[in-house]
Amino acid sequence: MTERVRVREMFPPGHIRTPFYLRGKTGEVERVLGPFGVPEQLAYGLTANREKLYRVRFTMREVWGEAAENPDDTLDAEIFAHWLIPAED
């Protein structure tokens, strides 16, 4: 069974590798990778937490809504664990 996750809709300052356009969006975990050092800490020379990295697959319908070019096409991105919460649906 595929795991559904939601990207946290938060906007902290700093070096962040969670794209703006995916914040608040829900997708399915395509595969789990890592652990890797967290970029928010690595970018500032801090000792980085190591976290799982999720490849999350979003539908274009979910990302762009009515403006989607083809709603069933998909977008995959790598999102660190602390940016994800279980999807509520």
77 binds other proteins (CB under 8 A): yes
Give the shortest CB-41-to-other proteins separation in angstroms: 13
64 binds other proteins (CB under 8 A): yes
Q: Which residue has the tokens 């995916």?
A: 22
Closer to other proteins by CB, 20 or 88: give it.
Answer: 20
DSSP symbols for the chain: -PPEEEE-----SS---S-GGGTT-EEEEEEEEEEEE-HHHHTTTPPPPEEEEEEEEEEHHHHHGGG-SSTT-EEEEEEEGGGEEE---
Identify residues 2-21 at the interface with other proteins (CB under 8 A): 17-19, 21
Give the shortest CB-19-to-other proteins separation in angstroms: 5
Residues near other proteins (CB under 8 A)? 17-19, 21, 33-34, 36, 39, 53, 55, 57, 63-64, 67, 69-70, 72-80
